[in-house]
Structure 1
Amino acid sequence: MAGGLVAFLLVYLCALASAEQNPLFLTQNPVLSPHVDAFISDVLAEWNTPGGVSVAVVKKHSDGTWTAETKGYGNASMDGRQMTEDSLFCIASNSKLFNIIATGLLISNESLSRRVSWDTKIASIVPEWELKDPIASSQSTITDIMSHRTGLPRHDLMYGRTDNVTSIVGFKSALLGRRAENVHQLNRLKHLEPSAEFRDIYQYNNNMYMLLSYLPEILLPHKPPFARYVKEHIFEPLGLTSTTYSVDVARASGNLAQGMARDGVNKTENLFGKGTPRAMRHPNWFLAGGEDGNYKSGAGGVISSAKDAATWLQALLDGGINPVTNDSVIPPDVIEKVATGKTVQVGFALYPELSPMVYGGAQFRYTYRGHGMYCHGGSTTGFMTQVSRFPSDKLGIAVFSNDDDYGGMLHEIIKWYLVDTALGLPPIDWNSRMKSEVTRQYWALARDSHPRPSNPRPPSVSFEALSGPYENPGYGTVDFCFIFKNKSTSDLPSPCDDSWTTLPGAIDTSVPTLLAKWDKAWSTHIMLTHFDENLFNVSTLESRHTINGTQPFWTAEVHEGTIVTAEFSFHQEENQRLISGFGLTGGIWGAGAEAGTRKGGTAQDRAEVWFHKV
């Protein structure tokens, strides 16, 4: 969920279309041939990935039989453990399809005393649920929530590692006391700025799928945790024996892949350099919850393998039927409903082979070279996934990567090559296209970046005065310490006194800097470096563990690829200039491409996120 390259990636992470295709176009030969094996291995080497990929290809033939191919390539871990069909990945936002299908099972459940439909208003289920836009609060339906059209942008930095669903979206009365002891800052969503009118545009939002994940607990009399409900009604009936919401279960299997990243790459010399490979020992999705799950389960908590992905794809392509037992698990109308476009994700063809894209529920829909497809991508720390299916061709493909930096590009290149091979089409050089796009975006950002003035003007108050606590009711509190020309750890004020160790190489002491710890799901620190007058450049950083005892941490910039700024504002009170707060702008709220920017005469008016001085 972060950065310009990820934003680009999301555009390519799927969709679907309605063109009818004849399954006989499918090759009858194995797709994962030695030639394809060599292609995938060459791509991994060319992109210098420290990790690998695991892939699944399923085809249904004209006689009704299936072919399922699964294989791993490259490294699953830093110690050289090889990737296999059984390697486990956090599939991130590909978890959303399990979530919305679980919602469909509830809608299809005629035994519920409290019946719901796709058009049921959320406010009728959870009266406390509220957004800042009163129209969206009162009118949002399950369909609006699933198709990302509430008007609320991502705001992914508002939730932290210790949050739960009730602390984010609020369900006190609906839960009838269950987990009431965990409720704090009930319904923080109502404090987040919208970036569009209700039902105006598509804007991807993880918080809405967190909301959907609590429906089993709200609607069913025995109040099952969401993760338990999905396990009982989807995982187990389909035979997805390795798929889980529990990282403890995944670790115990011995098949959990390590997310891998590159540290210290000089991108001006080589964008695709090796750098120092880092195993990400504690990815941010390792949250408490066990098999009961946690607040991120509905939006991105599933852990699965290519082998199970093959079974999942077969079931989706065959109307929700278990491919081994032929038992009906998911009603076909639920699968069709979530694949039916409700919002336009991109209204034009990004490449000649693609059509415009629409979004239903956790499914993009568009065409590729005249073949209709549904798909979705997933991106979280250390893992990138892509699951695609061509319903008329009865073809399904999944590609999972553990490359944190370029896994999204790798799975696109490999996905399209597998699609071309399976459909018997001349292959398109997506490898060159992806490299060109990475290069274009990197240099476009460089052109948009401006060096700090040689004689920057100081802020309206002293830098020291800008330190201290600030609060946004949706995002919480940040407590800045001021760093400038400090030469040793002992010079740094608390709570920044361990920053040399936990954020190696991140702090330039020659530039006045404000640094704060914040325990967010995607980052551990926010850093403001002075640019000019009351304007600061913003970096959201994550201190990540290494497996190197002499250097226990390394630093990653979470929103790399975007230019985010903080502007401080002041007011007069009894002839004294006081700090009002600061506003963040530059895309940190994750608004949709058509949303535009906030306008106004003050920093607070223009802010995507406003923190007031405490």
Structure 2
Amino acid sequence: MLLLLLSFANFCYAVASKQMPLATQNAPEAKSNSKITTENDPKYSNLLDSSFDDFVANLAEEWGMKGLSVAVVQHQPNGSWIVETKGYGVMNTAGDPVTADTIMPINSNSKLFTAMAMGLLIDKNLGLSPDNSTLPLPVTWRTKVKSILKDDWALQDPLAESETDLVDLAAHRTGLPRHEMGWQRRANLRDTIRSMRWLRPSAAWRDAFQYTNWGYMTLAHIISVLSRQSFHSFVDQHIFAPLNLTRTTYNTSFAASTGRFAEGFITVRRGVPKDEGGIGFLGAEHKAVELFIDEITDVTAGPGGVMMNAKDAATWLQTLLLEGKHPLPPHDQIIPSALVKRLARGVTPMSSSLALPYPDVSIKSYGGGGQWMYAYQGTNIVEHNGGWFGWLSLFSRAPREGLGIAVLTNWDEGAHVMEAIKYRLYERALGLNSVDWSAR
């Protein structure tokens, strides 16, 4: 069985060569989730304007961007919203434009949906004992994995095997590193979890933060075991459908059937000399790829299987800023407020040696639900990134300020561009000092 090395987050930054400038494509007028209003206060004005278009075009020319979409939501004091979505560049080799309707994988930003699903199962007591007798219910975040999965859960570290709970899985503190070559995308999820007994730990239990997709594979399996339905159907039933996220899915066939599913672009032959058939020392070629996960792959669903467009990303950001309420009247509480807050609290601090060497950005901590917490120029931020071969994503929000930003791109070297766009939008919306992140 083919082993695939996937990196859903913490992707490597690399400098791309200059390609043709990214063409700006205004998306069709979005169906807003609420009234769009503008006020004289610059904090509550449209951000995706012509000056922002120029900013993105300059970034694209500098970095060689292919395509991206942006969603920005601003919750105003009067309760109304400014919701903006826009696309830039191309979604495929045919040159079709990226719009706000273009669907892209969001990769590790799927982890928050997995954590929310686990929290819903806990808070609403939706789980059932696997054997109807031996599992004490209700399940809590402190329930031991061993008590749920029994013999299916085994680790080489006896302490980690017996004591790991659901928070440990979500906060990446089981002692396991990535071990990306240890799983097969076409494998059965239960068999994949059982194979963890062969994976060597690289740290003691709870001794270090080590980002790994194995914890979220395990959470997805636990959700399936306790709910007695597939993981992806549970998320669809309890999150996607209630929020009317009609273009958000784990199913690649559905995404492709819309005609709006972006191809990804990967960088190949970087720096190959011209006399060897390349385009020069500083050059690189970009190859279009299709998402190679067939239909719904249970193994990858929990840590990185969600695909969505910018319009649905805007709705998701609004829901998070409303602490789980639906953005549309009557504003039903889809996700408990306490759960949204819980998953936005730091659990595991990042080593200071890994922090960005800039005074504008604080040291980060990782929460129990697939999110980073840090401060930018004194503004508290909750966010996560995601990376796959050909696609990257970034979801970020400032809860106190009611501001949310999402950037999706179909180019595997777009990390610098996404960061520059994010910070530019925060600076403009909140009146922060302007920093040239592209130069940094």
Alignment counterpart, residue 390 of structure 1, candidates 389, 395, 398: 398
Report which of the two structures shows the higher radius of gyration computed on alpha carbons: 1
**Does the residue aligned with 2:360 lie in a helix, a strand or coil?**
coil
2:213 equivalent in structure 1: 206
**C-alpha contact 2:145 2:165 (8 A) present in aligned 1:** yes
**C-alpha contact 2:373 2:380 (8 A) present in aligned 1:** yes
Give the direction of change, closer, same or farther, for the CA distance of 1:122–1:272 in structure 2 (3 Å limit).
farther
Q: Distance in 2 between matches of 1:271 and 1:338?
A: 47
Q: Distance in 1 between matches of 2:8 and 2:117?
A: 30
Cα deviation, residue 339, structure 1: 1.1
1:143 equivalent in structure 2: 167
Q: Distance in 2 between matches of 1:384 and 1:271?
A: 26
**Does the residue aligned with 2:427 lie in a helix, a strand or coil?**
helix
**C-alpha contact 2:386 2:394 (8 A) present in aligned 1:** yes
Cα deviation, residue 335, structure 1: 0.8
Cα deviation, residue 346, structure 1: 3.2
Give the direction of change, closer, same or farther, for the CA distance of 1:318–1:268 in structure 2 (3 Å limit).
farther
Letter matched to residue 304 of structure 2: G
**C-alpha contact 1:239 1:322 (8 A) present in aligned 2:** no
Give the direction of change, closer, same or farther, for the CA distance of 1:78–1:25 in structure 2 (3 Å limit).
same
1:462 equivalent in structure 2: none
Give the direction of change, closer, same or farther, for the CA distance of 1:108–1:131 in structure 2 (3 Å limit).
same
Give the direction of change, closer, same or farther, for the CA distance of 1:150–1:266 in structure 2 (3 Å limit).
same
* Higher RCO structure, 1 or 2 (CA under 8 Å, sep 6+): 2
Q: Distance in 2 between matches of 1:159 and 1:212?
A: 16
Deviations along 1:278-324, whole A, 9 cap, x unmatched? 1113x34x2343xxx52110100000011100000000000101101
Give the direction of change, closer, same or farther, for the CA distance of 1:388–1:74 in structure 2 (3 Å limit).
same
2:35 equivalent in structure 1: none
Deviations along 1:127-179, whole A, 9 cap, x unmatched? 1201110100000000111000011001011112321211211xxxxxxxxxx
Cα deviation, residue 217, structure 1: 2.1
Give the direction of change, closer, same or farther, for the CA distance of 1:272–1:210 in structure 2 (3 Å limit).
farther
Q: Distance in 1 between matches of 2:42 and 2:336?
A: 27
**Does the residue aligned with 1:430 lie in a helix, a strand or coil?**
coil
Q: Distance in 1 between matches of 2:273 and 2:429?
A: 38
Give the direction of change, closer, same or farther, for the CA distance of 1:343–1:5 in structure 2 (3 Å limit).
closer
Q: Distance in 2 between matches of 1:272 and 1:79?
A: 28
2:246 equivalent in structure 1: 241
Q: How does 1:107-186 map to 2 (within 5 A)?
A: 107-110=122-125, 112=127, 114-128=137-151, 129-169=153-193
Q: How does 1:314-325 map to 2 (within 5 A)?
A: 314-325=318-329
**Does the residue aligned with 1:387 lie in a helix, a strand or coil?**
strand
Alignment counterpart, residue 367 of structure 1, candidates 367, 375, 381: 375
Q: Distance in 1 between matches of 2:88 and 2:281?
A: 19
Give the direction of change, closer, same or farther, for the CA distance of 1:234–1:273 in structure 2 (3 Å limit).
farther
Alignment counterpart, residue 311 of structure 2, candidates 296, 302, 307: 307
Deviations along 1:235-255, whole A, 9 cap, x unmatched? 011111100000010001011
Alignment counterpart, residue 264 of structure 2, candidates 252, 259, 262: 259
1:64 equivalent in structure 2: 79
Give the direction of change, closer, same or farther, for the CA distance of 1:424–1:25 in structure 2 (3 Å limit).
farther
Q: Distance in 2 between matches of 1:56 and 1:4?
A: 20
**Does the residue aligned with 1:308 lie in a helix, a strand or coil?**
helix
Kindly, what percent of the aligned residue pairs are identical? 38
In the alignment, is residue 356 of structure 1 matched against residue 363 of structure 2?
yes
Cα deviation, residue 36, structure 1: 0.5
Give the direction of change, closer, same or farther, for the CA distance of 1:33–1:4 in structure 2 (3 Å limit).
closer
Cα deviation, residue 263, structure 1: 2.8
1:467 equivalent in structure 2: none
Letter matched to residue 395 of structure 1: L
In the alignment, is residue 298 of structure 1 matched against residue 302 of structure 2?
yes
Give the direction of change, closer, same or farther, for the CA distance of 1:115–1:344 in structure 2 (3 Å limit).
same
Give TM-score scaled by structure 1 length: 0.61
Cα deviation, residue 218, structure 1: 1.3
1:448 equivalent in structure 2: none
Q: Distance in 2 between matches of 1:382 and 1:356?
A: 29
Give the direction of change, closer, same or farther, for the CA distance of 1:3–1:243 in structure 2 (3 Å limit).
closer
Q: Distance in 2 between matches of 1:140 and 1:311?
A: 34
Letter matched to residue 132 of structure 1: Q
1:100 equivalent in structure 2: 115
Cα deviation, residue 52, structure 1: 1.0
**C-alpha contact 1:161 1:287 (8 A) present in aligned 2:** no
Q: Distance in 2 between matches of 1:247 and 1:154?
A: 25
**Does the residue aligned with 2:246 lie in a helix, a strand or coil?**
coil
In the alignment, is residue 416 of structure 1 matched against residue 423 of structure 2?
yes
Q: Distance in 1 between matches of 2:91 and 2:126?
A: 45
Q: Distance in 1 between matches of 2:189 and 2:226?
A: 16
Give the direction of change, closer, same or farther, for the CA distance of 1:45–1:272 in structure 2 (3 Å limit).
farther
Unaligned runs of 5+ in 1: 10-23, 170-186, 434-614
In the alignment, is residue 74 of structure 1 matched against residue 89 of structure 2?
yes
**Does the residue aligned with 1:6 lie in a helix, a strand or coil?**
coil
Cα deviation, residue 425, structure 1: 2.2
**C-alpha contact 2:266 2:389 (8 A) present in aligned 1:** no
2:22 equivalent in structure 1: none
Q: Distance in 2 between matches of 1:266 and 1:254?
A: 34
Give the direction of change, closer, same or farther, for the CA distance of 1:216–1:82 in structure 2 (3 Å limit).
same
Unaligned runs of 5+ in 2: 1-5, 15-39, 129-136
Alignment counterpart, residue 38 of structure 1, candidates 54, 73, 98: 54
Q: Distance in 1 between matches of 2:314 and 2:103?
A: 13
**C-alpha contact 2:185 2:300 (8 A) present in aligned 1:** no
Letter matched to residue 59 of structure 1: Q
**C-alpha contact 2:8 2:303 (8 A) present in aligned 1:** no
Cα deviation, residue 207, structure 1: 1.0
Letter matched to residue 95 of structure 1: S
Q: Distance in 1 between matches of 2:288 and 2:204?
A: 42
Q: Distance in 2 between matches of 1:260 and 1:70?
A: 22
Q: Distance in 2 between matches of 1:63 and 1:400?
A: 29
Q: Distance in 1 between matches of 2:8 and 2:243?
A: 36
Give the direction of change, closer, same or farther, for the CA distance of 1:26–1:267 in structure 2 (3 Å limit).
farther
1:493 equivalent in structure 2: none
Q: Distance in 2 between matches of 1:253 and 1:80?
A: 17
Cα deviation, residue 5, structure 1: 8.3
Give the direction of change, closer, same or farther, for the CA distance of 1:271–1:418 in structure 2 (3 Å limit).
farther
